[in-house]
A and B are shown apart, each in its own frame.
Chain A
Amino acid sequence: MISTTLGSLGRPVLQAIAAVGRVALFAAQVLGHLLRPPFYLRELGVSLLQIGWFSLPVVGLTAIFTGGALALQIYAGGSRFNAESVVPSIVAIGMTRELGPVLGGLMVAARVASSIAAEIGTMKVTEQIDALVTLSTNPLKYLAVPRVVAATLAMPVLVATGDAIGIMGGWLVGTTRLDFNSAAYLKNTVDFLQGWDVGSGLVKGAVFGFIVALMGCYHGMNSARGAQGVGAATKSAVVSASVLILAANYVLTEVFFSS
């Protein structure tokens, strides 16, 4: 009875530890290939386009609505303390430090991790990955490394763009709905914002980009056979990338701002 209970408790813990170990080994293998030739620049270029450029609309739309909603909430909350004037500065800090990178990361996780996992998973079940091996090409180097590098490079750019659009969303709502003076709103934003507010968000973006592509590639490469296997890999990629982004965000915020 006791051993059965302990067993049922211990089994998922051991499975979780084993999964963490497998992901860590996969990440180490990807990083190990970063500086060793051959380099697949064409694949890197295609990945930059697909992960970076084609994610711009979803990141931009997320940012503009978030910036607008944030301005409304801060105004409503601030009015309880006669502190409505903090709207521009809090919108700027909120977007650059937290909401830009986190919401951008989650949206890219939904869009990119799923597509990477589905693509690589399909390649696995249709023997395209075996074909790569028989053509003397390392699948990890050809498929995973360009995607991980591209996502790590593209995410900070997406975050910076999202930050700017989010702040503009706040400005739009502030000037059209909350009676802020346009020039004063922008001056307040620029004066209050510090370099590290933006820089920390960009670092977070790079980490989140790495996580998104790593999870997409890992789950794709380990996809089970059949449509159900690819579907499960896709779902696992999005869920694990999203959870890891939120966890990494807490850790990075602790490291950057706890003092």
Chain B
Amino acid sequence: MIELTDVQKRFGGNRVLQGVNLSIASGTSMVIIGGSGTGKSVLLKCILGLVRPDSGTITLDGQDVTSGDRDAFLARFGMLFQGGALFDSLRVWENVAFRLVRGAKALPKAQAREVAVEKLRRVGLKPEVADLFPAELSGGMQKRVGLARAIAAEPEIIFFDEPTTGLDPIMAGVINDLIREIVVEMGATAMTITHDMSSVRAIADNVAMLHGGVIRWTGPVGEMDATPDAYVQQFIHGRADGPIESVR
């Protein structure tokens, strides 16, 4: 269970998070929606400790994420970054196996490569891709490699930061299906940030809408369409008119 209580974060005079309260039950898939610049990525980075909140608490299974063994904490997570964030200087398989060849439980190189090739296969990439460099791949392939890296160590919790941004609708659908399959198959807790409504419907068990620095609405994805919340309705239907200013 990931629990955020009154999390606040400001950058200079910009109060990005103004008291976020949110619970994500273990083994469920939570999707955070909201407009660009509303602090979705900041929220995710606060949980991972990449950004330090100004106030509030974030707990994982009851333990404050800022205390305890940081490596052990991070070992429970996998993350797919928006742009893939693949390491340019490493081959694809080395990117996927990055965590596997390091640390106390490091695998021998050959074995790590086998695992990497298997994870690449899991995301629909052929073994030949393993020896390429990231710059030799298309955007969709890079996203898949990023996904393979996120699941390589079979983490308990996986974060997806705008997994379908910049992809064509077919590739976006492929990535959405992959994420859903992998989360169900691994029994992982997932947290996804997106403003792509087709991703929301494909990936989510629960949805939370972040607006104005707070969670505006949260509930099961099945109840999202029926909610009377004007913010959610404007967002999911992509209307220019409504309480959310279209020019920000």
Please report A residues at the B interface, Cβ cutoff 8 Å: 38, 46, 123, 126-128, 130-131, 133-137
Contacts and interface: CB of A to CB of B under 8 A. Distances in A.
B38 interface: no
Interface of B: 45, 48-50, 70-71, 74-75, 77-79, 81-83, 85-89, 98-99, 102-103, 149
B85 A131 contact: yes
B102 A137 contact: yes
A136 B99 contact: yes
A127 B83 CA distance: 8
Contact of A128 (B74, B75, B77, B87): B87
B71 A136 contact: yes
A133 B85 contact: no
Given A38-B102, A134-B48, 16 more contacts: A46-B89, A123-B88, A126-B85, A127-B82, A127-B85, A128-B85, A128-B88, A130-B45, A130-B50, A131-B87, A133-B49, A133-B50, A135-B102, A136-B74, A136-B75, A137-B98
A12 B181 CA distance: 56
Contacts of A135: 74, 98-99, 102, 149
A131 B103 CA distance: 16
Contacts of B85: 126-128, 130-131
Contact of A136 (B81, B86, B103): B103
- Of the listed residues B49, B74, B85, B89, the one surrounded by the most CB atoms of chain A closer than 10 A to its CB is B85
- Of the listed residues A123, A134, A136, A137, the one surrounded by the most CB atoms of chain B closer than 10 A to its CB is A134
B119 to A, nearest CB: 14
Contacts, number: 47
9 contacts: A127-B85, A128-B85, A131-B85, A131-B86, A131-B87, A133-B48, A134-B48, A135-B98, A136-B99
A128 B89 CA distance: 11
Smallest CB-CB A-B distances: 6 pairs: A131-B85, A127-B85, A136-B74, A134-B79, A127-B81, A136-B71
B102 A131 contact: no
Contacts of B50: 130, 133-134
B246 to A, nearest CB: 25
Contacts of A130: 45, 50, 81, 85
A133 B73 CA distance: 11
Contacts of A137: 98, 102
A20 B74 CA distance: 33
A127 B48 CA distance: 14
A126 B74 CA distance: 20
A123 B88 CA distance: 9
Given A126-B85, A136-B103, A137-B102, A131 B74 contact: no
Nearest to B82: A127
A256 to B, nearest CB: 38
A127 B77 CA distance: 16
B83 to A, nearest CB: 6
A7 to B, nearest CB: 21
B81 A131 contact: yes
Contacts of B98: 135, 137
A136 to B, nearest CB: 5
A48 to B, nearest CB: 15
Nearest to B161: A127
Contacts of A134: 48, 50, 74, 77-79
Contacts of B102: 38, 135-137
B99 to A, nearest CB: 5
A131 B79 contact: yes
